[in-house]
Chains A and B, each alone.
Chain A
Amino acid sequence: MNLSESWRFALRGVSANKTRSALTTLGIIIGVASVIILVAVGTGSAKAVEDSISSLGSNTMTVTPTGTQGGGIAGGGGLAGIASLFGGGGAAKTDTGTKTRNPTLTMEDARALTDTTAAPDVIGVAPVVSGQNIVATYEGASHSVPTFSGSTPAYLGINNDTISAGTAFTDADYESHRRVVLLGSTVAEQLVGQDTTALVGQSVSFNGKAFTVVGILGEKGSTGPLDNDDRVIAPATAVQDTLTGYEDLSSISVKASSSDTTASAQDQVTAILDGRHNTTAATRDFSVFNSATILSAATSSNDTFTVLLGAVAAISLLVGGIGVMNIMLVTVTERTREIGIRKAIGAGKGDIVTQFLLEAVILSLLGGVVGVVLGLIGSQFTIVGVVPIVAPYSVVLAFAVALATGLFFGLYPASRAASLRPIDALRYE
C-alpha cells in the first residue's frame, strides 16, 4: 500500500473524532505558540536593553560607590539605572560595608575628575545625588517619582538627554541653588495629562518643597520594565538643600572624549579616585563601568533569560507530546477491532504502523501549524512592556520539535497497534 493511501486512512482516523483531535492538538498548539512568543519576548527585551544602552553612547561611564551606606546606585538614571537592573558592576558588594564609614564619593571627587592634566581624556563630569521616595504634587495630582536626580547641567550632555519643551537649567541655576526642575514625560503626564508643556513655568512640589518647572525632557522610551521617562532632574545644589542633605553622591557620570579613549579615560578616573581614597584594586570602594561592560552583562543575563523562557515553553511542548501519546494509546485500544479487521483482510504490520504514526503526526502537524500562526499573532502585541521580536530559529525549532514529538510519541502506540494478533484483535469487544 502506498503512502498517500495511509495518509487518507490517517486523516479519516483524525477527523472521525474531531473534538478529541482538537483537544489533543491544543497541547501542541500551546507548546509551539508559547515557545515562539516567549523567545520573542526574550529577544525583544534584549534588543530594547541593547538599544537603550547604545543610545547612551559608547563613551559614557558611571562611577558608583561600593561598600557604603546611602543611595548606592539605585535611581541614578542613565547608565547607573540600567546597571541596577542587572545588578552589574560592584553593586553586589554593598552588603559588606559598615554603616559608619565615610561617604566614598563626594563633590570633591567629582571636581577632581575635571582636572584636565590628570584626566586628559575626560571631557565631561557630572556628580549625581539621588532623592529617595520622592512624591511630586501639583494641583491635587500626585505621582511617586522613582528616579529623582540632582546634578549639573553637564549631566544632560553626558547622558544624551534632550529638552522637548522649555529650557535646561543652567550653571547659574546650579551655582545659585535655584529650585528648578526638568520633568520626564511620564512624570509630567501623571501630573497634568497630555498637555505637558503647560507645566513649564509652574511650581511643582516634591515632598513639600516647591520647584519651578523649567523644561520637559525628551522621551527615551523604556528599557524592559524600566520607564526611562519616569524621572526628574534638578540642580544637585538645590536637591541637597531640600531633599537629600549634603552626604555622599550616588554616582558620578563621566564622558570620555571619544569611544576610542573610553578605556584610557576609565583608567585615569580610577587612578585619580584611588589616589584620593587611598585604595588599590583589592580595597577599592568604588567601581567604574562603561556602557560596553554593561551591555555585555545585560546581553549575557538576557541570554539566560531567553533560554529559561524557551525551556519553560519546551516543557509545555513535551507535555503536549505526551498528550498525543495518551490519546493515541486510547485510540489504539478503542480501535482494536478495526485493527483486527484490517489485518485479517491483508494489512501488514507496516501498513498499521504507518497509519497510526501518521495520525499522530497529523495531530502534531496541525498543532504545529496553528501554534506557529498563534505564536506569530501573539508576538504582535506588546507583552509586559516588551515589544516581542520573533526569532526565526524559534519558529523552525518549535515546528520541528512538534513534528518530532508526534513521531516519537506516536511510535509506541503505533507499534502496539501493529503487533496485535488479528484473532485477538477480532475477538476484542
Chain B
Amino acid sequence: MTTAQRPVIDLTDVTKTYGEGDTVVHALAGVTRRVERGDYVAVMGASGSGKSTLMNIIGCLDSPTAGRYLLDGVDVRHRDDAQLSRIRNRKIGFVFQSFNLIPRTSALSNVELPLAYAGVRAAERRRRALDALTRVGLRDRAGHLPSQLSGGQQQRVAVARAIVTEPVLLLADEPTGALDSHSTAEVLDLFDELSAAGRTLVVITHEDEVAARAKRVLRMRDGVVVEDVRTVAVTDLPPDMGALVEA
C-alpha cells in the first residue's frame, strides 16, 4: 500500500466497555470505519453516545477493549506508555474544548512544547513554532501568556500547537464548545484552511454549524455509528471554501 492509499484511521469492530457485571457500560459497541488522508470528518451524537471515548481511542490516549485499530497503517495495540507517547507526539495533534494550554507559559513556548518532546533543537523549534503561530494569525502574540489571550486566541494557539509537528491527524473534541460565534468562525476558517492544505481532521461536535463545514459527518448513538454522510469528496475543498470558489 502506498502512503496515498493508506487510510489515516482504520477501525475494525472496535469496542470499549467500562466497568463489569451489572454496571457494565458499552461506551463503544463495535465501530468499523475508515478515514482517508485529507478527509475532514465531523462526529456528532447525543451526550453519552461515545464520541469522546472514540476520540480517546483514535488519539491513542486509551486502548480499545477489543477490535483492531491501525493509525496511519500502524497497529497501536499492545504498545507501552513510552511508545504511545511517541506515537501521539509524531502522528496526532490534539485540540480540546478547554484549550488546555500550559498556564504561565508563553504562547510560543506552548507551541514549541511538542517539538521539545520530539527532541527538536531550540533554534529549529522556535522557527517552526513561529511559523505555526503565523499560520493561525497570532505571530504578534507569541510572547503572551494564556491568561493574556481571549478564548478564541487561546484555541488558535492550541491549533498551532497541534499542527506544529505536521501530524497526519488533527483531532479536536468540541473545539468550539467554549467559544462565542466570532471566535468559532475564526477557528472553523482555520480548519478549512488546514483541510484545503491536505490535512486530515476529525472534529467532535454538538453544533450543526460546525458539522456543516466538514466533508463528511458521522452520527453516533449508544456506542455505534448510525449514520455516515459525505457532502464533498475527500480530494475536494471543504464545503464552505468550495462554495466560495464557485461563487
Interface residues of A (CB under 8 A from B): 1-2, 5, 12, 16, 337-338, 340-351, 422-423, 426
Contacts and interface: CB of A to CB of B under 8 A. Distances in A.
Nearest to A4: B122
Given A12-B105, A341-B102, A346-B88, A5 B94 contact: no
B117 A351 contact: yes
Nearest to B89: A346
Interface string B123-162: 0000000000000000000000000000000000000010
B62 A1 contact: no
**Residue with the highest number of chain A CB atoms closer than 10 Å, among B61, B85, B100, B105:** B85
A12 B104 contact: yes
Given A12-B105, A345-B88, A423 B61 contact: yes
Given A422-B61, A423-B62, A346 B117 contact: yes
Contacts of A338: 102-103
Interface in B84-132: 85-86, 88-90, 94, 96, 100-105, 113-114, 116-119
Nearest to A344: B94
Given A1-B116, A1-B119, A344-B94, A426 B85 contact: no
B61 A347 contact: no
Contacts of B32: none
A343 B85 contact: yes
A349 B81 contact: yes
**Residue with the highest number of chain A CB atoms closer than 10 Å, among B59, B86, B114, B117:** B117
Contacts of A346: 85-86, 88-90, 114, 117-118, 165
Contact of A348 (B86, B101, B113, B116): B86
B12 interface: no
B133 to A, nearest CB: 16
B82 interface: yes
Interface of B: 56, 59, 61-62, 81-82, 85-86, 88-90, 94, 96, 100-105, 113-114, 116-119, 161, 165
Contact of A344 (B88, B90, B103): B88
Contact of A16 (B88, B104, B114): B104
Contacts of A348: 81-82, 85-86, 117
Contact of B61 (A2, A5, A344): A344
B94 A345 contact: yes
**Residue with the highest number of chain A CB atoms closer than 10 Å, among B105, B113, B165:** B113
A422 B88 CA distance: 11
Contacts of B101: 341
A341 B100 contact: yes
A16 B89 CA distance: 26
Shortest beta-carbon contacts, A-B, top 8: A346-B89, A346-B117, A348-B85, A345-B114, A423-B61, A341-B100, A348-B82, A16-B104
A344 B96 CA distance: 11
A337 to B, nearest CB: 7
Contacts of B103: 16, 338
A422 B62 CA distance: 8
Contacts of B94: 344-345
A5 B116 contact: yes
Given A1-B117, A2-B119, A351-B117, A345 B161 contact: yes
Nearest to B125: A5
A344 B81 contact: no
Contacts of B56: 423
A28 B103 CA distance: 28
A423 B16 CA distance: 14
Nearest to A343: B85
B102 A342 contact: yes
Nearest to B118: A346
B102 A426 contact: no
Given A347-B85, A423-B56, 20 more contacts: A1-B119, A5-B116, A341-B101, A341-B102, A344-B94, A345-B88, A345-B161, A346-B85, A346-B86, A346-B88, A346-B90, A346-B114, A346-B118, A348-B81, A348-B85, A348-B86, A348-B117, A349-B85, A423-B62, A426-B96
Contacts of A16: 103-104
Contacts of B114: 345-346
B72 to A, nearest CB: 15
A377 to B, nearest CB: 34
A350 B80 CA distance: 13
A5 B85 CA distance: 17
A69 B114 CA distance: 86
Contact of B117 (A337, A345, A426): A345
A245 to B, nearest CB: 82
Nearest to A13: B104
A147 to B, nearest CB: 66
Contacts of A422: 61
A423 B100 CA distance: 13
Contacts of B59: 344
A341 B32 CA distance: 28
Contacts of B100: 337, 340-341, 344, 426
Nearest to B171: A344
A349 B86 CA distance: 11
A351 B61 CA distance: 17
B96 A349 contact: no
A46 B143 CA distance: 59
Nearest to A418: B81
B18 to A, nearest CB: 12
